[in-house]
Amino acid sequence: MSYGAADFLPVSGQRDVHGISRPSLSYLQDAWLRLKANRRALASLYLVLGLLFFTIAGPWIWRVDSAVQDLDQISQPPGVDRAALIVPDYQSWDGAGEAGPLHVVGDATSQSVRLKWDALPGANGHRVYRNIFPVGPELAYGMPLAEFFDNTILYHEDRLDLRPGRYFYSVVALGEDGAVTANYESLTVDVRRVTTLAEAVDRGLIENGDQLAVGDSIELQLHPLGTDYLGRDMLARLMAGARVSLFIGIVAPALFVLFGVVFGAAAGFIGGRVDQFMMRFADFVVALPFLLFMILFKIAFGIGPGESGVMPMLVAMVVLLWPATARLVRGQILQLREAAYVQASQLLGARTNYLVLRHMLPNTLGVVLVTLTFEIPKAIFVEAFLSFIGMGVAPPTPSWGSMSNEGIATMLTTPHELIFPALFISITVLAFNLLGDGLRDALDARMRNAG
């Protein structure tokens, strides 16, 4: 390339001196922008809002009473067939029917299952069992229903708490001494749900008997997430439980964080001996084994009849969990007190109260917010833990923890009773943890830039 003299004339006028001219944002504005850029945190924020909606607005949309028992549908997993056939009223059975190896007479319904069999070879009577699993090599017959010590009666009618689904009936031969032998016959029976007109009216499924006739089919109450071991609607209970779990999970941290802020700010401000003493006290409270003291508190307070036990738990948490925040805030304030700009405004004669508001609060707010977000999942865990060992909210008040506790008993047969509350706990804890991570990152970055 060649250049001429014209190229080497000085440039005139103002050149654009490189500089950074980003608009300056307020502390929280900036943090909010960062949070919005963090997709995981944003998703968890929406999740938290969704949970709050579920808790607050849920019961207005799904207006089923969480305490009402649906006796037709006990421990019902979600999404099962709710159809019920209308059958005539029950009539007793005298064992009439064809002979033959173990078989069902008539239809197997939730009203009754009628079994009839021929005497097993060498039997001195029989015992009838019902199981929800196949008998298998360990000869797990299940629940004994009836026992006959001779071969005169070769039929049995099962009316015991029948649910729609698959049962495995076994008839086992008894030996001469009346003991069970290994000689048995087994039958798989699919029971279908039926109801009578009178029953349907009684349960409020239909207005009166005129609308329907025997042989028609009606739908039972809808339970989108199934029912628990008492036939209560899971969805309604989860909503009611959310109120308890989130109430404790949010209100308790809000209170103890607030107390911690006040305590820490006071210690940081007053300083000197008082500060020393206050912090020693905080150290003591920290050293107490937390869950043990929660349990102690519960016992000491006791739960009267009709009380849910939420309040003692709340009080115990506030009393025991404030020191972490107090230490944090005190540290912040000591740091800020050293900061030059605070001293500068002190020189200008600013009053102490004014200083708190003007400088301390906005700077401490972010840290406190992050702490709060991380304390919420911890509090939810504590509630769940205590309710699980039976030291939390008292039945019948539902909470996610107490629901999990009840669900564990039937875990092997109807896992949904455990899985749903557990899922809600997990999702909530996850959402708050991720949100806390996002908040911390957003505020940290901001602090780093500022410093």
Partner 1 sequence: MRQGMAWYVCKRLLQGVVTVWFIATATFFAMHNVPGDPLLNDRAMTPAIRANLEARYGLDQPLFNQYLIYLGNLAQGDFGISFTQENRQVNDIIREHFPVSATLGILAVLFAAAGGVLWGALTALYRNRMPDYVIMFLVILGISVPSFVVAALSQLGLVTLNTLVGRSLLPVAGWGSVFHMLTPALVLGLSTMAYLTRLMRSSMLEIIDSDFVRTAKSKGVPPALIFSRHQLRNAILPVVTVLGPQIAVITTGGFVVELVFAIPGLGRFFVEAVQQLDYTVIMGTTVFYGAFLVFMVIVVDLLYGFIDPRVRLQ
Partner 2 sequence: MTAAPLLQVEDLHVEFATHGGTVRAVRGVDFSVDSNRTLAIVGESGCGKSVSVQSIMGLIPVPPGRIGPGSALLRGQEILGNNVVNGRDVRGSEIGMIFQDPMTSLNPTMTIGAQIAEPLQVHRGYGAGRAREEAIRLLESCRIPEARKRAGQYPFEFSGGMLQRAMIAMAISCKPALLIADEPTTALDVTIQSQILDLMRDLQRETGMAIILITHDLGVVARMADEVLVMYAGEVVEKGGVDDVFYRSAHPYTLGLKAAMPSNRDDSAQVLTPIDGSPPDLFAPPGGCGYFARCPYAMQACEDNHPESFDLHADHFARCWLHHEDCDVEATDVHRTTASE
Residues at the site binding partner 2, with contacts judged by CB under 8 A: 1, 3-11, 15-20
Shortest distance in whole angstroms from residue 37 CB to partner 2: 10
- For partner 1, give the closer residue by CB, 84 or 443: 443
Cβ partners under 8 Å of residue 59, min gap 6: 236, 239, 240
- Nearest CB to partner 2, comparing residues 132 and 445: 445
CA count, 13 A, side-chain hemisphere, 371: 23
Say which entry of partner 2, partner 1, none residue 19 contacts (CB below 5 to 8 A, set by partner kind): partner 2
CA dihedral sign, ordered 251, 400, 366, 290: positive
- Pick from partner 1, partner 2, none: which does 390 bind, CB < 5 to 8 A by kind? partner 1
Contacts of 217 (CB under 8 A, 6+ apart): 83, 84, 85, 86
Q: Which CB, 8 or 60, lies closer to partner 2?
A: 8
Q: How far apart are CA 366 and CA 361, in angstroms?
A: 9
Distance (Å, rounded) from C-alpha 263 to C-alpha 256?
Answer: 10
Work out which of 265, 391, 394, 435 binds partner 1, going by CB under 8 A.
Answer: 391
Number of residues that bind partner 1 (CB under 8 A): 38
Strand pairing partners for 104? 115
By the rule CB under 8 A, 411 interacts with partner 1 = yes
31: alpha, beta or left, given left = phi > 0 and alpha = psi -120 to 50? alpha
Is the alpha carbon torsion for 122, 127, 132, 135 positive or negative?
negative
449 touches 27 (CB < 8 A) = no
148 binds partner 1 (CB under 8 A): no
Q: From the CB of residue 201, how many other CB atoms can be counted at a distance below 10 Å?
A: 17
Should residue 288 be labelled a site residue for partner 1 when binding is judged by CB under 8 A? yes
Beta carbon nearer to partner 1, 142 or 175: 142
Tokens of 137: 């090599």
Q: Is 302 in the site for partner 1 (CB under 8 A)?
A: yes
Decide if residue 427 touches partner 1 (CB under 8 A).
Answer: yes
Q: How far, in Å, CA of 420 to CA of 70, rounded?
A: 19
- Report the alpha-carbon distance of residue 101 to residue 336 in Å, rounded: 89
Check binding of 422 to partner 1 (CB under 8 A): yes
Q: Residue 426, interface with partner 1 (CB under 8 A)?
A: yes
293 binds, among partner 2, partner 1, none (CB under 5 to 8 A by kind): partner 1
Choice from 299, 339, 357, 361 touching partner 1 (CB under 8 A): 299
Applying CB under 8 A, which part among 100-108, 159-167, 255-263, 297-305 lies near partner 1?
297-305
Give the residues lining the site for partner 1 (CB under 8 A). 284, 287-293, 295-297, 299-300, 302, 377, 381, 384-385, 388-391, 401, 404-405, 408, 411-412, 415, 418, 422, 425-427, 429-430, 433-434
